[in-house]
Structures are given as C-alpha cells and as structure tokens.
Structure 1
Amino acid sequence: MSPIFAQDANVNEGKTLFVGKCQSCHAPDMKSNSTGPALGGVTGRWEDAGKLHEWIRNNQKLIASGYPKAVEVSKISSTAMSTFPDLTDEQINSVLAYIEAKASGALDKDKGNAGAAGGAGAEASSQNNIMYGVVSLILALVALVLIYVNFNLQKAARDAEKVKAAPSLPVYRNKTYLAIAAIVLFIVGGYFTTKGMINVNRQIHYEPEQPIFYSHKVHAGINQINCLYCHGNAWESKTAAIPSVNVCMNCHKTIQKYNGPELKNKEGHVVDGTKEIQKLYDYAGFDPANPDAWDASKAKPIEWVKIHNLPDHVYFNHSQHIRVGNVQCQTCHGEITGMDEVYQFSELSMGWCVNCHRNTKVNFNVDSTGGNQYYSIYEKFHNDIKSGKMDSVTVKDIGGLECQKCHY
C-alpha cells in the first residue's frame, strides 16, 4: 500500500464507509469481480493519489476531463460508478487502507490474533473467578472458626463465674437467626427480581417465524442488494418501513426459481426457496405462467411479524442516525448480511443507547471541504478544538443525553 494512504488511516472507519457506500457494487473480499471490479491493489494501480481521490468523489468529471487512467477504468464495467462528493481525504484514505488490509489478509490475521487474545482474556477471567472463589471460601471458614471460638470463650467465662446460661431456643424461634435469614432472602430475591425486570421486553435473540422465509443473507449478503432499496424510508423518515409486495415483485416477476445455496431455518430444516417465492406470488396475486395479466391492485400485504419494538414513549428517528450520523445498519441490527431469519441482535435498552451516544463522534470538522454544516453553530466546541481542550465531539456533547431528545 502506498504510504500516502497509510498515514492516519483508520481501518475501522474505512470498513464502515466501505460497507455503507461501496459494498453494494464491489465484492467484500476485494479479490472478486462484482458489479464493479475487484478493488484489491487499487492504490498501486493509480500513480497519482490525488487523481484517485478525484475519481472516487466524481468519476464522471474526471472522465470528462480526458484523464487517461479514468477513461481506462471506466471501460472495465458498463455500470457507471456512483459519486461521493461528501467524502473527505481522510475518509477516502481510511477506505483505501481498509481495502488493502482486507485484500492482503491482514485483517484475517488480526482477527485470529484477537481471537487468541480473547481466549487468553477469557482464561484469565476464569482464573480470577476461581481465585476470588477460593479467597471467599477461606474467609468464610475463618469467620466460622472465629464464631466457634467466641462461643466457646463465652461458655468458659460463664462456667468460671458459675453463671447459668440462658436456655437455648430452636432455630425457627431465634430472632437473630430469623432476622439474618430475612435479610439474606431480601437481598438475593431483590437481586434476581431486579435483574429479571430489567430484561423484560428487551427481546434479545427474538426470532419469530415469518409468513415467508426471507433470507437477508441471500438478498443483502450474496446478491448485495442495498438495505435502502427495500427500506428506503430509513434515509428520509423516522421509520425504516417494511417494503410493499410491489417492491419484492420488481425482482421476482422474473426471478421465479431459487438457485442459490441451501436454506435452513433456525431448527435446521431445509427450506425450499422456490416454494417461498410462490408464497410471495400468492400475496401478490401473480400467476408466473401468465405474467402479463398481473393486476398489482389485487395484491394484499404480507403479514410480517415485527421484531424490533421500542416502548411507546421512546422516540427514535432512522434518518437522523443513518443519514446525518452515518450509522450503519449493522451497528444496531448486527451482521444482517449473514442472517437467514432475522433476529434481534442488540438489547435496544436505554443504557445501550446512552453508551452509544457517549462514545460516538459526530462529523464536526466544519470547513470548506467537509463536515456537517449544522455543527457550525457550536462555536465553543470549535474554539476548544482549536485550543487543544478537546480533540473530538461526541453525541453526548451536543445534547445526546438530554431526556427530551428521546422521550416525548
């Protein structure tokens, strides 16, 4: 990889940008051709890094200028590349760094190392738990010994002074024992009750059976259909929305048989993809033997079972997160491109959202080349960044933890 792309390149940010902007046309392994060519080694194929940046921002303009490399690349695919005028040089460098790291296999090695480190961390954590358990057991034994010694010393003192001991009471009538038992039960019962109530309605791993077996792995993963093709409302409104039957039929009017990899439901049973397409036709009122006679007005909506549910008093706006905040779908929904039947990946709790707001940086670098112009009103933060008091601004800093932001 050229050094100009390695400097200050954030591979993690590059991955996020690649998934959101590039993966719909370019293969994620960087080695296979898709709608667009394989991207592995792209930095070495362009002698002028500045021209590569121009190509990514507006390839049509560079082609029109007659730049030889741009004209050459434009002939590789019949599909015109999208333009990305909003990307900064740093963001482009991050994307290129991710492409080269992925193509070289460096990320797979890091993943293996991370797995080993994770295993070592888990082993260390297990050892710590054992150590704490042993220490707790020793302290408990010491406490019992001290109680026994204290009891015998008191008995010896009474015998020496010839004081008659009070008659012993059975355990169930001893107020001290009853009080201790009540306190222990209150603490243990309160802990488990609180823990159980906190998880009410979080629905993690909730995976209901749907009327049609729709595989996101096949559609968004293998065929790389952009999420916004079906959930376009997520770009411009509060809700992501469920696509209508007509959207499905845009493709399945011609794709009438399933020829992809074997499908299995969560119980491990094989699913017949072609039969699932026929279910779609039943909802659409479509006869594949007579496609020209299809009357779309007779279609009925598919009764999908909603998976992700928020309390009624919670306000969440998809467009604010996806379009303004550049949050990727996978952040909340998990690796959706690898799921056959979708399940709830994140807990979607208040604490989960608040932690995200505390850690997520906003696109605050407002200048002539980039940044969200809305943030120009935060003069204090700009001054603090210039003076070195702050190095970045998070959602928390711009009011992301205020109650009325999320609650009506």
Structure 2
Amino acid sequence: MIYLDNSATTKPHPSILKSFEQVSTRFFANPSSIHQFGGEAEKLLIRAKKQAADLLQVNREEIVFTSGGTEGNNIAIKGIALEHQGRGKHIITSEVEHPSVYDTCRSLESLGFEITYLPVDQNGVISIEDLHAAIRKDTILISIMHVNNELGSIQPIEEIGKVAKQHPKLFFHVDDVQGLGKIPLDLRDSGIDLCTFSGHKIHGLKGTGILFIKKRTSLFPLFHGGNQEQAIRSGTENLAGTVTMVKALRLIKEQEKHNVHKMYEIQKYLRDALLNMAGVIVNTPAHAAPHIMNFSVPNVKPEVIIHILGEQDIYISTKSACSSKQTNESRILAGCGFNSVRSVSALRVSLSYDTTKEDIELFIEALQKAITQFKEVME
C-alpha cells in the first residue's frame, strides 16, 4: 500500500499503540479519585503535561489536553468570544481556514458577532496590510492557521504575532494542526495566545490533542463539570490518550529535527514530475510546507482518479477530510482566485516521514496511466 493522505490522518506509530495499551491496563483509575490508585494516575497525567510543556517550551499551566484540532479550535475561538464579548464582538480570520475555524466563526455570526474574513493571494497567504486595516477598537480575536491543510501555504505567523502585540487587549489564535512537526513555530514571546495541535496528524491517536493557552488568557469554558484541565475542559481525562499525544509530539519533533530535509527533497521530486505531466496544474505554491502537494487535472472528476488509484492500493484525497465528501468546489482554491474548473478538479497528496521516493515514483506512474485511461474512455 502507498498511503498519501497523511494530512487527513497518519498511521499510528507502533510504540504509541503499545503505550496506549500499557497505560490503559496499568493506570486505568480516574486521576480525580482520592485513593492511591487514582493518585498514581494523577501523577502520570502531571508528568505528561510537564513533558508536553517542555517539548513546546512553554509552562505546564499553559497546556490543556483536548480531543484534537476541532475541539481545540472551538474552545479557543468560542471561549474568547463568549468571555470577552462585553468588550467587543469583532473577530478576524481568513477565507481559507479549516472548517473547524471557518464554520465556528460562521456560527458566531448568528450570535451577533461580526467576522472579517481576510482575502488571500494566489499562494493562499494573507496580506499584513489587510490585517492592519481590519483591526478595530472592538476586535477581540485574530485566528489564522499556520499551514493550510489543502495547499500547504504558510501564513506569516511571526509578523501577525508582532501586529497582535501592538494591541494588548486583542488575542491571537493559531491553528497549527498541519504545521506541527514540519514547520517550526516558537510560542515564546511570539504574540500567540492560543495554539491548537492534534495527535492523529503526527502518528498519534485520534481523539487526542493539545491547546496551548498563554498565561492570563481567560476563556469561557464550553464544558462545565468537574473543573479538570484548569476548568477549561471538564470531564474525566483521557490519560492513555494524553500519554500517547506527548509521545507522538516527542517523536515528530525528532523527525522534524533530523529528517525534514528529506521530505522537502521528495516533495520537490513530486512537484517537478507534476509540472512536467501533460494536463496537470500544480496549485501548491513554491514555498510551502514540505508534506502537502495540491494539483488539478482539469475536466477530470477527482473521484475518478482517486478510484483508479485506489484499485492499485494507492491512496490520495481531494480536499480536507472534513469536507472531502462534498461535491462542490474547494473553498480554499476558490479563495485563492482559481477558476471553478481548477478548484473543482483539485487533488491532494500529503506525505509523512515514512514516505519514500519509490512511493512517489509509483504514484506518478499510476497517475499518468489513470489520466491517459480516462482520456481514452472519454474519446
């Protein structure tokens, strides 16, 4: 099997599956229980939180464990909106955010919030000048993703953070689900107040994640109950999931340090091959994250290509897994100004650190045959 849909989810690392089983077997007590067995579980939870904080170079109190990117983004955006609405109801985001940000902002409009959706250029990147112009006295939040999940575009997070610092009463949230382990992001003194991470994108398990919440950032909690996770996310902690999230974080940081250059090399090989393939248009910008390559095959339905490749045990995707079953055009590509022919026919290849050049060679060969086969049928 050649699996090239890693932006949708990654294959869990064997050691992570083992850790989940071990923790579930040995530390199944509720960390909130006052008996010794519960105390042992609590100690493991505290240790995991400290390890996560050390890996992200933040304080332990700034780590909240979640079920993943969607929950983290909802807690961050709605939490700020509901807590600070008395000071203002204006939020800034972009037109190319993940559905868990974009749709969350849309939902807040029904509660009287005003959202500014910043446009992007053909590379999928916002303008800092547009951001400056959009900030108002009643702006309470900027929410911009680090790496786009469909195109791989990298937003100027460092510059946005500098802008945010000029407005002390304004909060800055970053969705770093796709950037983690591929594009470095410094949370210290960055202007970032909240940052979302997901475990299953980095060879961890589904249902695990982290939300970084900078000290003195107040949120209205979406869950109420037992006051777990600093009363931000009540509910019995997923201890086994938490431990695996931290392990996945450590492993992906090591991969980024030692192997990201290899991923860039494989991506370049893939880009060059696609650029030289008749009937294919590359959509991903030249300076993008190393694991994503988006391209279009105009006038060919993406499902046809995916089906033909799937029969050969090669798996790619169209757009975000959260919206891939919708038949309309890619909102992301449309937001970049691409015409409907291009945005309807887009396909996405997403790599992992396990992807080899041989995998890509076989994919390119199969893709070329699939396109030729489709054209022959249509003729």
Bigger Rg, structure 1 or 2: 1
Give the number of the structure with larger relative contact order, counting CA–CA contacts within 8 Å between residues 6 or more apart: 2
Give the alignment's TM-score, normalised by structure 2.
Answer: 0.23
More strand by share: 2
Give the alignment's TM-score, normalised by structure 1.
Answer: 0.21
More helix by share: 1
